[in-house]
Each structure stands twice: as C-alpha cells, then as structure tokens.
Structure 1
Amino acid sequence: MANLSPPPGKTFVVEHLDPELEAWSSLEYYTIASECHNSGAKFLLSSVPKSLKLPANLQHVQGLTVETRGIEDIYTDKKDRVCLLDPAASQDLSPEDGETFEIFLFGGILGDDPPRDRTSELRKKGYQGRRLGPVQMTTDTAVRVTRIVVQDKVAVEQVPYIDHPELKINKNESTQMPFRYVKGNDGRPIMPDGMLDLIKKDSEKSLDDLF
C-alpha cells in the first residue's frame, strides 16, 4: 500500500547573533516556535550563549529547541542541505528549493533598520543562499514566508504582503514600520501577539524623551 503520509516538515534555524535577547525578539521566537509546531516543522535557536537566561515565554513553548552550538557544529554532515536566507543572494527562494534543502538558516537579528547585514557572518561559512525578495522583513516574517514557499509550495512573489504598514499609537500618533509583513486573513499585517503593545510602549517612551 502506498505511503500517503505527508513529507516531514522542514527545520528552521535562527542563529542568535546577540549576547542578549530583547523583548521583541522573544515575541518573534515564540511565534516562530508556535507556527512551526502547528505546521509540523521544527524551530532551532542556535548559538545561544550559556549565560543567556531564556524569558519565561520561551522556556516551555512547544516546537522550540535551544542549542549553544552553532550551525556548523550541529549540521557538520549536512552542509549541502542547508539554505541560508540571504538578502544579498542572487536567486529568490522557490517552492522547488523545498526538495533540495531540508534546513533553512536565518541570521538573527534580521529586523534591523537600517539592515546591518548580520547574515554576512553566516555567508562566509559557504552555505547556498536564497533571497526573499527586495524588502526587509522581521525574523518571524522571514521564517513564515520561507515556510509558506517550501512547505505550502507558494511562489515567494505570490505570498500576500503588506509593506511598511502604519500603526496607530494613539488617537494623535502613528508610526510606520520599516518592514514587509505577510497579510493575514483579516487584511492586517501578521505580527506576534503582544508586539503592537510593545511598539506602542517604545513609541511613548521615545516621545517622552523629546520633552
């Protein structure tokens, strides 16, 4: 009898390139872990310093594996199966890449504005690179888009996006986000739970600093 079970989900790796873990990063990582778990994929947070204490929301979330080792040590025998999501790559990610690669690597922190090319540290290691289009994404958005392309087989340019959305802080203030997001079923940008509150809090803090 033919095996009709779906192919196993992919592994998504964020190489954590910071000595600390900011509140917004923990929200993004929680979202990545939850979405990967729900879609049959795995999420690995690598190169986490031993001195780094994970925040409460990441200590028991399903779908997350935390490693102090870096990507090279974890997948020494699978380098050709690792795809680096690289804004400087010459080729866009395609659904066919889901057949070629099983591990998709992201250099944190992707959501810098302006981008600081943190991925260059991983590029030097010689992994094959693919791009997710021309617009900067947050880390959770980059993983979400990659998963949609390689697991759901949707071309990267056919994913519904919202670029640089304007978020209302209060009745008088709004802020424009410098990133690309996936558009949700409600027509709004998909963001981690709690991120909007964090953005509002940061914006209010910045406004207070002006006075």
Structure 2
Amino acid sequence: MSTISTGKYYIVEHLEPEMGEWSELEYATISTECAKTGGKLYLTSLPTSLLGNLPGRLVEHTVSGRLIATSIEVSQLSEIKSERVCLLDPAAQTDLKPEDGEIFDTYVFGGILGDDPPRDRTSELRKYGYQGRRLGPKQMTTDTAVRVTRMVVEDKLPLYKIPYVDFPELKLSKHESTEMPFRYVLGENGQPIMPEGMVELIKKDADKSFDF
C-alpha cells in the first residue's frame, strides 16, 4: 500500500546560537517521521556558522531532501502562505483540532520547546502574526509537539484521544532514575516515544553531573 502524501510543512525556527545533541536527535526524528507521510521539515533561522557545520546526522537528511536547513526566518519562506500557517503556541486560546488540518498547511514550532522550566520563548515567534493553536496544558519536547500535531491534523485524532504519559521516570542504572518533566506520546510498547539514542544521551548527561 502506498503512503498518502499530506504535503504538510513542519517548520522549527531554531532559536539558539548552537545545536546540542538533544536537538540533533529530535530534529532527525522529526524529519524521519514527517517524511513517512510526504511532509517536510524546515529548520529556519539557523546561524550561518551552524548552517555550514551541521551535525552529520542532519546532513544526511538534507541530502535526501527530507530536511531543508536555512538561515532565513520562517516568514521569508516563499513556499508558505501566511494565512495557512499555524503557530503552535502554549499561550494560544484554542487547542489544535483535526479540522485544522484543512485550514493550515504549515505548522511552526520554536526549537526551544522542552525548556524546564518553560521560558515562553515562543513569544519570539508571535511577531509573525500567525494564528495560534495549543497542544494542551503540558510542556512537550519539540519532537513530541510535532508528533502530536501530525497525529491531530493528519491522522485526525483529537488531542484527548492521544495516549500520553506525563513526567515518566527513566531508569539510569540499577540504583538511579530520573523524572522527565515533559509530556510524551505513549508508544505501543507502553514506553514514552523518544528519539533513538535519547535515553543513552540522558544517561551520559546524568553521569557528567556526578563527575567532580
């Protein structure tokens, strides 16, 4: 059975001067998942120094055409029409609904979702004047926010029907664990859906915190 292309654009405006391993894993995951339904991921507002030195994992996605990396702002993309753009905004008054998939072609995210505590950095994107929608009351990582958006506008699944797990506890070792302060989509295996390699990265970061 062939995959039906939605032709949706998912745009992450990168709002940091650098790109950590956490973001690298999330962006690669978003690109892979969007491509499965014919969608495309854009990384916008990348500093020119970063644009010319993308992590190898992301370069592979740009070469395949699944990811477009650029230094221009989302508002400067010729592919999009402002009236068809939705800004995923935690401060929006209206939650995202399946029917929004008929209203919007493009969905914009701040590449800093997942801050703990939240810093409302999405405020930097409100200057564009796009219509806003919320993904519920809980803070999500960037890849989770895009995943939930796709499930709503492509799979037509209402937010309240998506299986979530809030603040999951991850076992780091036999005697150590950490609580993730975010909402995740619950996978079929009963575990929160995270980018491949993310748990290992969290463990590595935890080990560094104990190095004195």
Q: TM-score range by the shorter chain?
A: over 0.9
Q: List aligned pairs for 1:78-117, cutoff 5 A.
A: 78-117=81-120
Determine if contact 1:108/1:118 at 8 Å carries over to the other structure. no
Q: Indicate the SS of the match to 1:90.
A: coil
Is residue 54 of structure 1 aligned with residue 57 of structure 2?
Answer: no
Determine if contact 2:80/2:106 at 8 Å carries over to the other structure. no
Q: Indicate the SS of the match to 2:11.
A: strand
- TM-fit CA distance, 1:208: 2.5
Please report the TM-score for the alignment, with normalisation by the length of structure 2: 0.93
More displaced, 35-44 or 74-83?
A: 74-83
Q: Indicate the SS of the match to 1:45.
A: strand
In the TM superposition, what whole-angstrom CA distance separates every residue of 1:59-87 from its partner, at most 9, and x where no partner exists?
01241111111011114861111000000
- The Cα RMSD (Å) is 1.4
Runs of 4+ off more than 4 Å: none
Determine if contact 1:82/1:105 at 8 Å carries over to the other structure. yes
Partner of 2:131: 128
Quick one: which amino acid aligns to residue 144 of structure 1? R
- TM-fit CA distance, 1:195: 0.4
Partner of 2:67: 64
Q: Which residues of structure 2 form unaligned runs of 5+?
A: none
- TM-fit CA distance, 1:9: 2.8
Q: Indicate the SS of the match to 2:49.
A: coil
Give the Cα separation in 2 of the matches to 1:101 and 1:71.
15
Is residue 144 of structure 1 aligned with residue 147 of structure 2?
Answer: yes
Please report the TM-score for the alignment, with normalisation by the length of structure 1: 0.94
Q: Indicate the SS of the match to 2:175.
A: coil
More displaced, 132-141 or 54-63?
A: 54-63
Identity of aligned residues (%): 60
Determine if contact 2:12/2:110 at 8 Å carries over to the other structure. yes
Determine if contact 1:14/1:107 at 8 Å carries over to the other structure. yes
Give the Cα separation in 2 of the matches to 1:177 and 1:76.
36
Determine if contact 1:14/1:46 at 8 Å carries over to the other structure. yes
Give the Cα separation in 2 of the matches to 1:75 and 1:103.
12
Quick one: which amino acid aligns to residue 34 of structure 1? T
Give the Cα separation in 2 of the matches to 1:160 and 1:121.
30
Quick one: which amino acid aligns to residue 59 of structure 2? Q
- Mark the CA change 1:49 to 1:183 in structure 2 (over 3 Å): closer, same or farther: same
Quick one: which amino acid aligns to residue 204 of structure 1? D
Q: Indicate the SS of the match to 2:135.
A: coil
More displaced, 71-80 or 126-135?
A: 71-80
Q: List aligned pairs for 1:139-178, cutoff 5 A.
A: 139-178=142-181
Count of aligned residue pairs for this structure pair: 205
